[in-house]
Chain A
Amino acid sequence: MKQNDLILQTVTKVAAFVILLFAVAIFLGGHYSPGGGFVGGLMTSAAIVLLLLAFDIKTVTGILPIDYKLMIGSGLFISSLTVAGGLVFGVPLMTHVYQYIDLPLLGHISLHTAVLFDLGVYLVVVGVTMTIIQTIGESE
């Protein structure tokens, strides 16, 4: 069945980028405003799902040749490293460190190890959602 998805596809091309950028923004700002790894990850998956709906699985895997199972693994790995990192410095597990610095253009920002942990969460969430959706979608 051939359908004419021209409008959907054109809108998607723009919207997916906006959603992806927004996802990254709420992921990074998570510690200070609503957001974080979990929502950011879900938002990113939503953008990819939108791509999947507008195009088909083959095209999307052509654009984003990502092994989502690997993504799950690396996410878990990053998170557990951050959790265990405290041991190396002789402080309790999951102790976070943060620091405020001033950078040109970006201004007064903070560097926080929590972001590393959140990055792991982000990767796992994207990986999990996309693995499930892709597996079910492919099984036709």
Chain B
Amino acid sequence: MSLLHWAVLSPFLLALIVPILYKLFRQIHTGWFVLILPILLFTYFSSFISLTKRGDIITERAAWIPSLGIHVDFYVDGLGLLFALLITGIGSLVVLYSVFYLSKEKEKLNQFYVFLLLFMGAMLGVVLSDNLIVLYSFWEFTSLSSFLLIGYWNERERSRYGAQKSLLITVFGGLSLLGGIILLAIMGNTFSIRELIAQSGELMDHPLFTPALLLVLLGAFTKSAQFPFHIWLPDAMEAPTPVSAYLHSATMVKAGIYLVARLSPVFAESGIWFWLVSIAGLITLFWGSFSAIKQTDLKGILAFSTISQLGLIMSLLGLGAAALHYESLGENIYLAATVAAVFHLINHATFKGSLFMVAGIIDHETGTRDIRKLGGLMQLMPITFTVAVIGAFSMAGLPPFNGFLSKEMFLASMVDVLELNIFNMETWGTLFPVLAWVASVFTFIYSMIVVLKPFTGKLQLNLLDKKPHEAPIGMLISPIILASLVIIFGIFPNLLSSSIIEPAVAGIQPSLVGPDFQVHIAFWHGFQPELWMTVGIIAFGIILYKTFPKWQKIHQWMPERLSLNALYDNGLRGLERSASSVMKFLMTGSIRTYLLSIFLFFILSLGFTLYWKDAFKLDTGNLAPIGLYEWVLAAITVIGSIAILFARSRLTSIIILGAVGYTISLFFVLLRAPDLALTQLVIETISVSLFLLCFFHLPLMASRKEERMTFRLNNALISIGVGVMVTLIALSAHSNKLFDSISSYYLENAYKEAGGKNVVNVILVDFRGLDTMFEITVLSIAALGIFAMIKLRLTGGKDKS
């Protein structure tokens, strides 16, 4: 394991210690301990900047499952590094902010920081993995940790609803991503992203190419809240504000963007990729900005604005794919779309992060986020107001902030679409700049709502829960830093171009970017069409903002029950209803019924397979001789089994059953399997005592005379069927020797390879150790399940602890 591995692992390790720190140092806010790690990681990753600037790629390998080609390969290139810096940088600021936001007396800080650290580690893993299986594992880990974070205030109904929604949607996408990954691995015979990129040309012609592309995109779209999967993001706003700032604007939702960027070299050559990514992005951009202006919750506006901004970046990545089709062009204008995507990604993290923190401050200081109640906070919170203005104006695309520059670049790319002469762009092409422009007008309006509604107008103290005043200085540090970055990147845009943006673009489009590739972002770029578009956006935006109440009704043309949310809710309800009706049919509560259906299924499926495959065979050639002991034991077993049938009480049945079990273990002794015999003996002892314990709780046995004859006949038929089936299978298994037995391999290698003389134990802990690992996991889950069922039932469904 290299230092890089430890860096990715470190959040997980710290997460183990956090609960201990929380217990030991109750008077110190746990956040201070956590804060150290992202700062250290940020400095560590900053040291890579000089390397990736030169075009170096740092790779480190640790074997995981080498036999399947799965290694924990981490590699740092421009793209991965950009994300790693975002994760750790914004992470540090968010942790700092959370120290002041979450009270150490009232909140379960240990849980909060464990979840946050798990998330940070998972996210680093996603952006630095080269192996797709490793990437997928971390990917699902981000879904899980965000589920925990959204549901952090789990006593609230809305939190639980939001957490469940985000988990259902992102994990659904994650599963389809897994499908895509497997298809990719089948096509390219490797899980390594770099090796897949190297053979991207051949992959194009594979019949599985399009399915893989669709599955991967489904994963990316659900994660990055693209239309129509965006519905989970607004509900995820139930999480504490630091979480919203971190997960839902700067990092997790960008995992989808990262995936699209990372796999662009593999897929981008295909026209489907271009269409899907750019159209989905544009629709999301439009729909997000359109829905944002009807929200009344400050965080709700920001949630929809995040959706729309993610759509913007996505559409730029889609357009960037067009660059691949113009390799002959000297000055490739479509490469500019990718540059704009990367630049806007950084800018969005800065301004949206600061705006979320502002929303958190307002919530913290006034007790509400409802813009209908807020107003006039400007005098009371001048610093927060300044930060909000910077963030919102940058989001609206106004000079001299960084959002202005990337918005201009975005509009320029959309105009350049008109010159595309591939994919029949002549007809549909105009839709791109038109949609982009309309969405930008809406973006302008909601940016103004975010800053003007709470801070200007009349202060209505009677509507607020608390008397507002300026936030404590600690809470202001992080948003102030982010807002300063907004200005710095706006005025000196080329600060980042050679160190961060160029290497990142090289990571997205390695085939196009040569060593002489240079990004130059000009603050003043002449009277280009995009400048006039911006002027139009501002003019129209102001007019529409002023007349907002008049056309607001436009949002009501779509009835509530036709919305996507209603579709989701009804779908979920329908699923629950049908599942519970199936369960009611199957789960009668009588173990007899369960056993009957299990045995019936067993007889039918195995019997059919035996018949269908003509698998029954009787070979008496190599049977062992049967000695006196075997005869005696067999007789005892048979007599015992028959005796159970005629036992008059449960107690007798249990004891006879135990006796039969002991006889079986004597068989193992005879057949020289001491391990099995030992296990069987102890198991038999324990299960008899378990039976005796349960026995106490069982209802009285129905008297045998009351049971109807047909019922008993059915039972007899099924038990005879099971017996016959097991015998048939045992005989056929003995007679059909399709493969050589594996036992000789174990016998030969047990001592040589694993240094053990007891082959059974060596198999358990070494050769098939992973099976054992999962077995004990299953056992543990079962035990905890039993514990929960019995304890919860006793306390009437309430948790006693």
Which 9 pairs between the two chains have the least Cβ-Cβ distance? A34-B674, A128-B783, A31-B756, A42-B682, A36-B761, A124-B776, A98-B755, A114-B765, A32-B757
Contact indicator A69/B1 (Cβ below 8 Å): no
What residues of chain B lie closer than 8 Å to A26, measured between beta carbons? 678
Indicate with 1 or 0, residue by residue over A108-121, a CB within 8 angstroms of chain B CB atoms: 00101010011011
A38 to B754, CA, bound (A): 18
Whether A79 contacts B766 by the Cβ 8 Å rule is: no
Cβ < 8 Å to B, chain A residues 23-71: 26, 30-39, 42-43, 45-46, 49, 53, 69
What A residues does B794 contact at CB under 8 A? 139
B690 and A32 contact, CB distance less than 8 A:
no
Q: Contact check, B756 vs A114: say whether CB atoms are below 8 A apart.
A: yes
A15 an interface residue at 8 Å Cβ cutoff?
A: no
Q: Which residues of A contact B1 (CB under 8 A)?
A: 87-90
Q: Which residues of B contact A38 (CB under 8 A)?
A: 679, 764
Q: Which of chain B's residues has its CB closest to A97's CB? A: B755
Q: Is B787 an interface residue (CB 8 A)?
A: yes
Q: List residues of chain B with CB within 8 A of the CB of A127.
A: 780, 783
Residue in chain B with minimal CB distance to A33:
B758
Determine if B791 is an interface residue (Cβ-Cβ < 8 Å). yes
**Interface residue tally for chain A (C-beta within 8 Å):** 56
A60 to chain B, nearest CB (A): 13
Given A34-B675, A72-B783, A96-B754, 7 other A-B residues pairs in contact with their CB atoms under 8 A? A35-B678, A46-B682, A46-B686, A76-B776, A94-B773, A132-B690, A136-B790
Task: Chain A residues near B787: list those with CB within 8 A.
Answer: 69, 131-132, 135
Please give me the residue from chain A that is nearest to B6 by CB atom: A88
Chain A's nearest CB lies how many Å from the CB of B72? 7
> Is the pair B773, A80 in contact by a Cβ cutoff of 8 Å?
yes
Contacts of B686 in A (CB 8 A): 42, 45-46, 49, 129, 133
B695 to chain A, nearest CB (A): 10
Closest chain A residue, CB of each to CB of B793: A139
Q: Is B62 an interface residue (CB 8 A)?
A: yes
Q: Pick from B696, B758, B769 the residue with the most CB of A within 10 Å.
A: B769
B694 contacts A136, CB within 8 Å? yes
- Which A residues are in CB contact (< 8 Å) with B765? 31, 36-37, 96, 114, 117-118, 121
Asked whether, in the complex, the Cβ of B64 is within 8 Å of the Cβ of A93, the reply is yes
A61 to chain B, nearest CB (A): 15
- What is the distance, in angstroms, from A105's C-beta to the closest C-beta of chain B? 22
Known contacts A93-B65, A121-B776, A83 near B769 by CB under 8 Å: yes
| Given A76-B777, A94-B770, A117-B765, CB of A36 within 8 Å of CB of B755 | no
Q: CA of A108 to CA of B168 in the docked complex: distance in angstroms?
A: 57
A83 touches B773 (CB 8 A): yes
Q: Report chain A residues within 8 Å CB of B770.
A: 83, 93-94
What's the Cα separation between A12 and B268 when bound, in Å?
Answer: 74
Query: Given A30-B758, A39-B679, is A96 in contact with B786 using a C-beta cutoff of 8 Å?
Result: no
Q: Are A136 and B690 in contact, with the CB atoms below 8 A?
A: yes
What residue in chain B is nearest A31 (Cβ atoms)? B756
A110 CB → nearest B CB, Å: 6
The 8 Å CB contact of B758, one of A35, A88, A135, A137, is A35
CB-based contact B776/A90 at 8 Å: no
Interface centre among B1, B678, B685, B786 (most CB of A within 10 A): B678
Q: Considering the complex, give the chain B residue whose CB is closest to the CB of A121.
A: B776
| Residues of B contacting A133 in the complex (Cβ-Cβ under 8 angstroms) | 686, 689-690, 693
- From 35 to 78 in chain B, residues with beta carbon under 8 angstroms from any chain A beta carbon are 62-67, 72
For the complex formed, measure the closest distance between the CB of B690 and the CB atoms of chain A, giving whole angstroms. 6
The residue in chain B whose Cβ has the minimal distance to the Cβ of A88 is B1
| B779 CB–A CB distance under 8 Å | yes
List residues of chain A with CB within 8 A of the CB of B766: 94, 96, 114
In this assembly, does B798 line the interface, its C-beta being within 8 Å of a C-beta of chain A? no
Please, how many angstroms separate the alpha-carbon atoms of A80 and B775 in the complex? 12
Q: Does A102 contact B (CB under 8 A)?
A: no
Q: Which of B697, B754, B773 has the most CB of A within 10 A?
A: B773
Would you call B693 and A75 a contact (CB within 8 A)?
Answer: no
Q: What are some 29 contacts across the A-B interface (CB < 8 A)?
A: A26-B678, A30-B758, A31-B765, A33-B757, A34-B675, A35-B675, A42-B683, A46-B682, A72-B783, A76-B780, A79-B776, A87-B63, A88-B1, A92-B64, A92-B65, A96-B754, A110-B755, A112-B755, A112-B756, A114-B762, A114-B765, A131-B784, A132-B786, A135-B786, A135-B787, A136-B690, A136-B697, A136-B786, A140-B697
User: Is the Cβ of B63 less than 8 Å from the Cβ of A131?
Assistant: no
User: Given A34-B675, A118-B765, A133-B693, does the pair A75, B682 have CB atoms closer than 8 Å?
Assistant: no
B693 touches A72 (CB 8 A): no
